[in-house]
Amino acid sequence: MSDTPGPSEEVDLHARDPEWFREHVQSFQFWFEAVEGYLGGLDHGRPPEIPEAPLSGIERARLVTALCNYCVGETAALEGAGGLIRIAPNRETKIFLSTQTVDEGRHLEVLIHRLRELGVEDPEAEIRARAAPALLAFKDRLLDLVARGDWEAALFAQNVILESMEFAVFQNHARTADPRTHEVLMRIVKDERRHIGFGENELGRRLRAEPSLRTRLHPVRQELDRLVIAAFDEGGAGSGASPREREEITRAYLHAVKRLGFE
């Protein structure tokens, strides 16, 4: 690297060397300095002083179903990111995936804690009872791609499809959520920015070098698109999203796949 990373107030970040940028943002050092800005001083992913808002029975049931399905998605991402470390092509991506694995573990923990705050005594049993079958099928398919060592397909499934949908669903849900859930979700969204960016950039570089990869990934996309959309419908993951909000949620994902050159 020609540049040395440093905190000079005078430096124009955008004039830095691209190699420095890529290695720096994928480092544990960067991750640590980034997350301490928004995770310090929290109690299970939210400021401790946020009061519990009263919820009606229907509102609580809908929230519990959504959170249970978020837990399925986060478990898939946790196991997926951890498994991807083994097949990642270089040191930088392995290190980044180690930070993503930590993020996903945190997400699962704070969502389980939120379920307990809502009076769910056995979160594991509740998740099993409320999980959308399509989301479970997506998880199985993702972990199968990881187990088979298919780096591009697994990365596409996890960091483009799953993470894009989570990013959009959590942002949308946070807009109308009770204050505690809002705080928890918005901090998960901050982590998700890194995950979607990593997936799109890593896959984009691969597709640029090997355009025929699009053809190979096309059936993966078709199969997993269908599962994610079905999961959205089955699991209440949209938490009562209106048709306009649903359109907005899928738009972010569709823009990402369009930028990657998929029809």
Kindly tell me which of 61 and 252 has the beta carbon lying closer to other proteins: 252
Q: CB of residue 92 vs other proteins: minimum separation in angstroms?
A: 11
Q: How many residues does the chain have?
A: 263
Ranges within 194-233 binding other proteins (CB under 8 A): 194, 196-198, 200-201, 204-205, 207-208
Kindly tell me which of 89 and 133 has the beta carbon lying closer to other proteins: 89
Ranges within 30-89 binding other proteins (CB under 8 A): 30, 33-34, 37-38
Q: Does 175 bind other proteins (CB under 8 A)?
A: no
Q: CB of residue 159 vs other proteins: minimum separation in angstroms?
A: 11
Q: CB of residue 21 vs other proteins: minimum separation in angstroms?
A: 5
**Of the residues 190, 225, 229, 245, which one makes contact with other proteins according to CB under 8 A:** 190
Residues contacting other proteins: total by CB under 8 A: 34
Q: CB of residue 89 vs other proteins: minimum separation in angstroms?
A: 15
192: left (phi over 0), alpha (psi -120 to 50) or beta: alpha
Build a one-symbol-per-residue string for 233-252: x at contacts with other proteins by CB under 8 A, - elsewhere. Answer: -------------------x
54: left (phi over 0), alpha (psi -120 to 50) or beta: beta
Kindly tell me which of 180 and 206 has the beta carbon lying closer to other proteins: 206
At 137, the amino acid letter reads A
Q: CB of residue 116 vs other proteins: minimum separation in angstroms?
A: 27
Residues within the interface to other proteins (CB under 8 A): 3, 7, 9, 12-16, 18, 21-22, 25-26, 30, 33-34, 37-38, 190, 193-194, 196-198, 200-201, 204-205, 207-208, 252, 255-256, 259
